[in-house]
Structure 1
Amino acid sequence: MMPSFFVAHGAPLLAIENNSYTQAMHQISSLLPRRPRAIVMFSAHWEAFDQMVGTMETFPTIHDFGGFPQELYEIQYPAKGDQQIADETVQLLRDAGVPVTVNTTRGLDHGHWVVLRHIFPDADIPVVALSVNPNLTVAQQYMIGKALSPLREKDVLIIGSGGTVHNFSYIDMRETQGRAFEWALEFEEWLHQSLSGWKVDDLARYRELAPHAEKAVPAYGSEHFVPLLYVMGAADDERTAKRLHMSFRYGSLSHTIWQFGEAK
C-alpha cells in the first residue's frame, strides 16, 4: 500500500535550489515501501471544470512562468505516461460519478516537475497528470481522491502539488531567513490539528473556522490549497495524517509536506 502525499511546489526556483525544503523532498522516496509503478499527480496549475486525466507517451516540460534565471527554462523532465493506469484512473472516477475528460496533449507544468525532479530526479517513474477544480466543494474534492484510493493498492503513488499558505499579496521579497507572518503560522497550526485529527467536517468549513483563512487561501488562489483535499481523500480508508516538513519563504509562502496513510 502506497501512502499519498501533499507537497508544496513553492516558487519555481526550488527546482535548482538546495535547502532544507528541497532536502525534505528528496527524502520522500525513502519513505515508500517500494518503487512506485506510477505516479498519479494533481497540480494546482492545471485547473479545469471537468476532471482532466492527462496521458502521453512522453510528457513535454511546460515552463509556465516568467522572469526567472535561464537555467530554469533549460530544465527538462521527460516523464513517460502509463496508459493502463490512466485508463484505470478514468474508470474509477467515472464509477464514482465524476465527469472525466482525457487529455493527450498537455505536458507537465511546474507544479508537477519542480516537485518530481526532487523526488525522482531521473524521471523514470511513469506519470498520470490530473487537474484540479477549486470551484468544487471540499466534500467533492475529497470524494474524487477517495475514488482513486484503490490505485494505492497497486503501488501507484498519489501526489498533490500546491501550497497551504499561498498569497502573493503579502509576499515580502526581503524575507529570506525563513520567517513567517504570525497569521500564516496560526493558519498552519489550525490546519495541522484538523488534518491530524482527520476533521473533514471542519475542513469543509475552513473558510469560517480557520484563523486568517482569507489571507492564507485567498479566494483568487484556492487552487493551490485544494490538491491537499484530493490526496487526503485518497487515504480515507486509513485516516492517518503526518506533517513531515514545514518552512516558509517570503513570509507568506509555506513549504509543507503531508503524508496521508501508511507505507505498507
Structure 2
Amino acid sequence: MMPSLFVAHGAPLLAIENNSYTQALQQLSSQLPRRPRAIVMFSAHWEAFDQMVGTMETFPTIHDFGGFPQELYEIQYPAKGDEAIAQETVQLLRDAGVPVGLNTTRGLDHGHWVVLRHIFPQADVPVVALSVNPNLTVVQQYAIGKALSPLRQKDVLIVGSGGTIHNFSYLNMRETSEGAFDWALQFEEWLQQTLTGWKVDELARYRELAPHAEKAVPVYGSEHFVPLVYAMGAADDERAAQRLHMSFRYGSLSHTIWQFGHAE
C-alpha cells in the first residue's frame, strides 16, 4: 500500500535551490515502500470546474512564471504518461459521481515538476496530472481524494502539490532564513493537530476555526490549500497523518510535507 503525500512547491526557484526542504524532498523516494508504478498528482496551478485527468505519451514542461533566472526556463522534466492509470482514475471518479474529463494536450506545470525533479530526478516514473477546484467545499474535495484511494493498492503514489500557507500579501522577500511569523506557526500548529487527529469536520470549517486562516489561505486564493485535502481524502481508509517536514521562506511561505496513510 502506497501512502498519499502533500508537498509544497514553494516558489519556482525551489527547483534549483539546495536547502533543508529540497533535501527532504530528495529523501522522499527512499522512504516509500517501493518504487511507484505511477504518480497521480494534483497541482494547484491547474484549476478546472470539472475534475480533469491529464495524460500524454511524454509531457512537455510548462514554465508558467516570469521574471526568474534563465536557468529555470531551460529545465525540462519529460515524464511519461500512463494511459491505463489515467483511464482507471477517470473511471473511479465517474463511479463516485464526480464530473470528470480526460485531457491529452496539457503539459506539466511548475506545481508538478518543481517538486518531482527533486523526488524523482530522472523523470522515470509515469505521471497522471490532475486539476483542482477551489470552488468545491472541503467535504467535496475530500471525497474526490477518497474516490482515488484504490489506486494506492496498485502501487500508485497520489500527491497533492500546493502550499498550506500561500499569500503574496504576507511575504517578506528580504527574509532569507527559514524563520516564520508567529501567526504562520500558529496556523501550522492548528493544522497539525487537526490532521493528525483526522478531524475532517474541523478541517471543513478551517476558515472559522483555524487561527489566522484569512492570512494563510486568502479567500480568493485557496487553490494552493486544496491539494492537501485531496491527498488526505486518498487515505481515508487508514486515517493516519504525519508531517514529515516543515520550514519556511520569506517569513510565511510554508514548505511542508505530509504523509497520509502508512507506507507498507
TM (normalized to structure 1)?
1.00
- d(CA) in 1 for partners of 2:27, 2:231: 19
**In 1, Cα distance between equivalents of 2:66 and 2:114:** 15
- 1:227 Cα deviation after fit: 0.1
| Whole-Å separation in 2 of the counterparts to 1:174 and 1:46 | 29
Alpha-carbon displacement from aligned partner over 1:176-218 (angstroms, at most 9, x marks no partner): 1111111111000000000000000000000000000000000
Does the CA-based 8 Å contact 1:6-1:228 persist in structure 2? yes
Indicate the residue corresponding to 1:233 in structure 2.
233
Consecutive unaligned residues in structure 2, runs of 5 or more: none
For residues 1-264 of structure 1, what are the structure 2 equivalents within 5 Å? 1-264=1-264
Q: Give the ranges of 4+ consecutive aligned residues of structure 1 lying more than 2 Å apart after TM superposition.
A: none
Shift of 1:221: 1.3
Inter-partner Cα distance in structure 2 for 1:112 and 1:258: 16
CA distance in 1, matches of 2:124, 2:78: 9
Alpha-carbon separation, structure 2, partners of 1:66 and 1:220: 21
Partner Cα distance (1:219, 1:118) in 2: 30
Displacement of 1:38 in angstroms is 0.3
Give percent identity, aligned residues only.
87
- Contact 1:81/1:127, CA 8 A, preserved across alignment: yes
Q: Which amino acid aligns with 1:105?
A: T
Distance 1:217 1:16 in 2: 26
Q: Secondary structure at the match of 1:178?
A: coil
8 Å CA contact 1:168–1:252 kept in 2: the answer is no
Distance 2:252 2:263 in 1: 31
Q: What SS is found at the alignment partner of 2:75?
A: coil
Quote how far apart the aligned CAs of 1:70 are. Answer: 0.2
